A = this chain, B = another copy of it.
Amino acid sequence: MAMKQRQDMSKLIDVHSHVSPLNFPAAPNTAVATRWPCMQCQSSVEGTLMIGETPFRKLDARSWDVSRRIEDMDRNGIDIQVLSPMPELLSYWLDLTDAQVICDAVNHQIASLVASAPARFRGLGSVPMQSPEAAARMLPRLKQEFGLKGVEIGSNINGKLLGEGDFDPFWAAAEAEGMAIFVHALHPVAAKTLGSNQTFTGFALFPVDTGMTASSIIMNGVLDRFPRLRIGFSHGGGTLGASIGRLQLGWKMFKAAEGNSLAPAEQARRFFYDSNVYDSDYLAYLATTLAPGQVFAGTDYPYQIMQDDPARWIRDMALPAGIERSICSGAAGRFLAEAF
């Protein structure tokens, strides 16, 4: 199918799209078997991802088949997809050595998809953030051996928000390697306390967790310590944009005590955000006011909640031309350190 024509639009880069392997390595030991991912396939084009014995999500060829993805991309006018792991595969809840087996499988899959169509894909890999030191050691390999542009990480690591000092070795390595960091909502902190159901967790708490971790990064001065980091938040930064005034107030009152030289509003303008907020009014606030030029397109392809027809959605917002271009490709280029 021919690429759909777009008017007045630069290339369209979808920075938020996920993949998952069709085949997983066997569980390395029986202790981890109940928490190990495995595809139960109905056919070569669809199956159910199991976590141990529990069905987690129905998947189809879009999660692993290059030609099927490219067909969809052409239909939707997407020039390049940035591939990242299905977040549940990040495996922070496993022992380090077990988790590294899954990291390797995921990183190999992403590298292989990118290699099969290098004009159409870029990759963000997985590192075992349950050991920030091991994650830091893995980063150079992801870049040099796997050719990945960065990593996807969870909005919290086993309940710890990303501003905690534990993660400094990881930030240091990401900054040194120039790797992009894509922060994706995962196992929201508040869900544990609330015992909340899956629908409430997915729709109400995912954005909250992303917003909380962005606030944690801001209030703990991560960009003060690592000013060259390129951090992008899924789901438009979650709820961050609604809290920025209050964070700004807190910073004015307490910055001296916290050794945090950058105002929260200034930090918010340095982060990147995907467009995956399903509301053009809020997206306009993000893209023109909170962080002009810092929003890139992201759809959550190939999942049920993905943004349909993103090219049309973005065009219909009738944003200033410069802002529209930054959403389509400019912000993605700066996030991935590549000229599109």
Contact = CB atoms under 8 A, between A and B. Distances in A.
Interface string A273-306: 0000111011101000110000000000000110
A150 to B, nearest CB: 24
A2 to B, nearest CB: 30
Interface of A: 159, 161, 189-190, 192-194, 199-200, 202-208, 211-212, 215-216, 219, 235-250, 253-254, 258, 277-279, 281-283, 285, 289-290, 304-305
A41 to B, nearest CB: 25
Interface of A is mostly: helix
Given A242-B282, A281-B290, A282-B241, A212 B219 contact: no
A246 B277 contact: yes
Q: How many identical chains are in the complex? A: 2
Contacts of A282: 241-242, 244-245, 285
19 contacts: A161-B194, A189-B193, A190-B212, A192-B193, A203-B250, A204-B215, A204-B216, A204-B246, A207-B239, A207-B242, A239-B239, A239-B242, A244-B279, A244-B282, A245-B277, A245-B279, A249-B278, A249-B305, A281-B289
Nearest to A213: B204
A24 to B, nearest CB: 28
Nearest to A252: B278
A227 to B, nearest CB: 22
Given A190-B193, A193-B193, A285-B282, A304 B243 contact: no
A242 B211 contact: yes
Given A189-B190, A207-B242, A219-B203, A248 B212 contact: no
Contacts of A192: 193
Contact of A235 (B159, B202, B235, B246): B246
B244 A204 contact: no
Given A203-B246, A204-B247, A238-B243, 17 more contacts: A161-B194, A189-B193, A189-B194, A199-B254, A202-B250, A203-B219, A203-B243, A204-B212, A204-B243, A207-B239, A207-B243, A208-B212, A240-B242, A245-B283, A249-B305, A285-B285, A285-B289
